[in-house]
Structure 1
Amino acid sequence: MMMGIVSLMLFNLADIYFVAQLGTEPLAALGFTFPVTFSITSLAIGLGIGTSATLARLIGSGDHHKASSLSSDNLLSTALLTLGIALVCQLIIEPLFRAMGASEALLPYINTYMSVWFWGSVFLVVNMVGNSCMRASGDTKTPAKIMAFSSAMNMLLDPLLIFGWGPIPALGVQGAAIASVIAWGITFFLVLHILYHRRGLIILQPLHIQRIWQHWRSVMKIGLPAALSNMMTPVANGVLTALVATYGAEAVAAFGVGNRLESLSLLACLALSMTLPPFISQNFGAGQTERVIRAYRIAIRFALIWQTVLYIGLCLGAGSVAALFSDNLEVQEWIGIWILIVPVGFGFQAATFLTASSFNALHQPLRAMRISITRLFIFYVPLGWLGSHFFGLQGMFGGLVIANALTALTAWFWMRRHLKRLADQPA
């Protein structure tokens, strides 16, 4: 899981690193795109969760033909859904980003990037759902290799298309989007080839609307709540980005870098949040409540200690990290301030999503969703706004730390109460 996540993180970091060489305005424009692109990615993650859970059950029951039929219909439905979303988003690019606070100077950069990215997102989403199909069949290595290959291609194509070389013109920000789409497009056909020829999870069958709809509904029963939970984060980040925009393009550029650093810093705990649920679910099903409790406690303890160690490392290298992403002194200053404040709350943030994952593993998805809603819309956005209102951008950063701490304590209390009830139940 860590290998796959690292590939995705490097994909984003490569984009922002090379675009940063173009100047502050292109970097700020890319910062505005992050909440929107992450929304589409969150949809893909939710669809992948629903697909994996449904397929794994069918494969486990021995009904491989039905699994192949569902997988084929689901990939087709996913592609059509994403195409529809891309078409709608193409029509609202400028109004959407104006509402987020983007200035007229940044809109041309955003437009050229997103007009390509939205169409390419079809490849991205189908790739992620296709990789989930492979994991459901028990193959975890191939999806990781595919993601690593896609990331490597993007890193090679980014400088080539952004800055130009020989007969290839310099395309600037749009070049970063085209590089991503080419990488996704090649891996798209690779994923379909593997699913069809190696795994037998794509079959040629008549297009029956009723069958496709039934398959889509079975996937969305699980996928929709998961997607909605994931999509709450970019919505909240979009609100905060609009708030940061009031401090200027340099602040937005630094905040965009911070979002990428946050994802990378939480890497180990994100991987843990994907491997902890199967362990908890198996022991919960076997009635091993004490093992569930111990696993949860160990995971939370690890998250707090690990993120504290990483925070110290970030602080020691703050200057070098800031200089890596921008040569603008004001942007570097804001990145340095972000590093000193926001990562203090990463341990609490990791504890929060580990608790949400544990609730899902214990068949309590609504409790997991309640944690997400509480974090983002009761603590995160309100405290970020209050901090900004009274103490400026540094105050907003401090508000985010407090919000993560309060959410982690709340989630831990809910889980502790639930686990106590499980432990008190008769065997």
Structure 2
Amino acid sequence: MGHVVTMTLTASIGLIAVFAVDALNLFYISMLGQAELAAAIGYAGTLMFFTVSVAIGLTIATGALVSRALGAGDREKAARAGGASLLCMAVIMVVLSTLAWIFIPELLGLLGARGETGKLADGFLRIVFPTTPLMAIGMCTTGILRGIGDARRAMYVTLAGGIAAAIMDPILIFGLDLGLTGAALSTLFSRVVLLLVGLHGAVIVHRLVRLPNTATFREMLRPFLTIGGPAVLTQLATPAGNAYVTAQIASFGDGAVAGWAIIGRLIPVAFGVIFALSGAVGPILGQNYGAKLYDRLYQTMRDALIFTTIYVLAIWGLLALFSGGIADLFRAQGEARELVVFFCLFASASFLFNGALFVANSAFNNLGYAFYSTILNWGRSTLGIIPFVWIGSQHFGATGVIAGWALGAVVFGVAAVALCFRVIASIESRDRHDDDLLPGPPPAAHSPFTTGKGATLG
């Protein structure tokens, strides 16, 4: 539990800092007094979520490969994995961001952005999308740093980006009177800082990046995509579900979209610790899986779920208590205010189950069962969202959309946890059977983090 908490809290500090700045960004925009600006941020954020989710999925693959190699005692292989992962991330994200930039109008149209709001969102994304590869490579370095267990430096990466944005936002938005354009330029600046700090930690401090030759790149590409492909598909499920919610919300006007945008900024700030938990628990599982310490796989999962439950209950209580003040902070009125208050009082409780799903997905990705996380996440974002949201919108309007989005988490969160423990049991049974077939005693596991008694970090 101590390692779970340490890895999670250090990761969450930087992560929440970034999301808090994102929320502050929306707060500054709301001070300009135009509902269209807040709605534009909502539409743009939905599209940006897709590119960020791809980067998160590939970062998961990076952390899994590096931590497994380190858990098995092969630091050189870990460095090769780190270098190949950075190169893969760069190529994939350059292609993706270029395509996204070309089709910005069509993508915004699919979400329901129209008129002046659509033009504002378009202008914002024209500046932000080209910086996506910078952000993605910086995120990839955090996978390397978490893979070696350096949660502190992984925290510095995202924290530095958040601090940079916090400084530049008021200067560009108000000081230079650039408004929404200033917010986009601030995002660009913060991503450059994030990249530089991440490369310093991974390349200079830990020397866990070896740029690959062609043969090494081909060798690493398959395991990277084997983990990263399903992880990306898993991560894309959430923005796909959110895009459907946004499209449904759009039918109720810019006020409702502005309320959904505020909720979208509240969620990562309030529950960023849970997002960090799912990222931090992966390397712990990966190292212990590489060292074949099965009891620690069970223990890590149990402790992560206990932590999730305690944290979500505490945050739900705080959101409910201060729901009115939160709506006032963002100057939400009418439909926007109703949605924000409803989320704080009721819908935020769904993260008891969303959090369980996140943790289970991290386990699947790091234990060689990434396909399960893909199926569960897409199930959550389709069967767990579309029918619930549609029924809610038909009978209860915009509030019903939020309620439907929240209710779908229950079934998939419970199913994910049950399946996860079953997978760990099957892994232990399979590996013990294989060891029994070997002549003589099973080989000892070696790890750069192994103590004299064979216990790895975490």
Category of TM-score, reference length = shorter chain: 0.7 to 0.9
User: Is contact 2:53-2:236 (8 Å) kept?
Assistant: yes
Structure 1 counterpart of 2:240, from 223, 231, 235:
235
Cα distance in 2 between the residues matched to 1:136 and 1:282: 8
2:48 maps to 1:41: no
Is the 8 Å Cα contact of residues 153 and 201 (structure 2) preserved in structure 1? no
Cα distance change of structure 1 residues 35 and 295 upon mapping to structure 2, 3 Å threshold? same
8 A contact 1:24–1:328 mirrored in 2? no
Of the candidates 359, 365, 368, which is equivalent to residue 370 of structure 2?
Answer: 365
Opposite residue 188 of structure 2, the aligned amino acid is V
In 2, the alpha carbon distance for the partners of 1:202 and 1:418 equals 32
Bigger relative contact order (CA 8 A; separation at least 6): 2
Match of 1:220 in 2: 225
Picking from 123, 138, 151, the partner of 1:140 is 151
Q: Could you tell me which of 125, 128, 134 is aligned with 1:114?
A: 125
For 2:326, the aligned partner's letter is V
Aligned positions of 1:202-217 closer than 5 A: 202=209, 209=214, 211-217=216-222
Greater shift after overlay, 314-323 or 212-221?
212-221
Which residue of 170, 182, 201 corresponds with 2:177? 170
Q: Please tell me whether the aligned partners of residues 341 and 397 of structure 1 are also in contact (alpha carbons under 8 angstroms).
A: no
Q: Give yes or no for contact 1:345–1:400 (8 Å, CA) kept in 2.
A: no
Following superposition, the deviation at residue 131 of structure 1 comes to: 2.4
Query: CA deviation digits over 1:369-425, x for unaligned, max 9?
Result: 222122111122221112112222222222223211222233344346556767999
What is the letter of the counterpart of residue 13 of structure 1? Answer: A
- Give the match for residue 187 of structure 1: 194
**What code does the residue aligned with 1:188 have?**
L
- 1:223-245 CA-to-partner distances (Å, cap 9, x unmatched) read 12111101110011011100000
Rounded to whole Å, the distance in 2 between the matches of 1:391 and 1:54 is 46
Say if 2:21 is the partner of 1:11.
Answer: yes
TM-superposed CA distance for 1:187, in Å, is: 3.4
**Counterpart secondary structure, 2:385:** helix
- Contact 1:19/1:172 (8 A) holds in 2: yes
Q: Pick closer, same or farther for the CA change 1:319–1:125 going to 2, 3 Å.
A: same
For the 8 Å contact 2:26–2:41, the answer to whether it is kept is yes
Report Cα offsets for 1:299-334 as digits up to 9, x if no partner: 434433432332221111111101111254442233
Is the CA contact 2:145–2:151 (under 8 Å) kept in the aligned structure 1? yes
Of the candidates 316, 341, 348, which is equivalent to residue 346 of structure 2?
A: 341
* Counterpart pick for 2:400 among 375, 395, 404: 395
Task: Give the TM-score taking structure 2 as reference length.
Answer: 0.82
The whole-number CA distance in structure 2 between the counterparts of 1:203 and 1:281 is: 21
Q: 1:84 aligns with which of 86, 95, 98?
A: 95
**Cα gap change, 1:18/1:302 in structure 2, threshold over 3 Å: closer, same or farther?**
same
Q: Once superposed, what is the RMSD of the aligned Cα atoms?
A: 2.8
Contact 1:78/1:125, CA 8 A, preserved across alignment = yes
Read off the aligned partner of 1:50 and give its amino acid letter: A
Give, in angstroms, the shift of residue 295 of structure 1: 5.0
Change (3 A) 1:46 1:401: closer
Identify the residue that residue 74 of structure 1 maps to in structure 2.
85
Distance in 1 separating the partners of 2:297 and 2:144: 27
The residue number in structure 1 matching 2:204 is 197
CA distance in 2: counterparts of 1:195 and 1:408, whole angstroms? 34
**What do the CA deviations read for 1:25-82 (whole angstroms, capped 9, x no partner)?**
1111111122211111111111112122223344556655554455334323422322
Query: Unaligned 5+ residue runs, structure 1?
Result: none
TM-score w.r.t. the length of structure 1 is: 0.88
**Partners of 2:399 and 2:140 in 1: CA distance:** 39
- Tell me the alpha carbon deviations over residues 277-311 of structure 1, each in whole angstroms, 9 at most, x when there is no partner: 4555666665655x655654454344334323322
Q: Which amino acid aligns with 2:90?
A: A
Unaligned 5+ residue runs, structure 2? 1-10, 434-458
- Please list, as runs of the form range in 1=range in 2, the aligned pairs for 1:318-357 lying within 5 A after superposition: 318-326=323-331, 328-357=333-362
Q: Which stretch of the first structure deviates more once superposed, 379-388 or 58-67?
A: 58-67
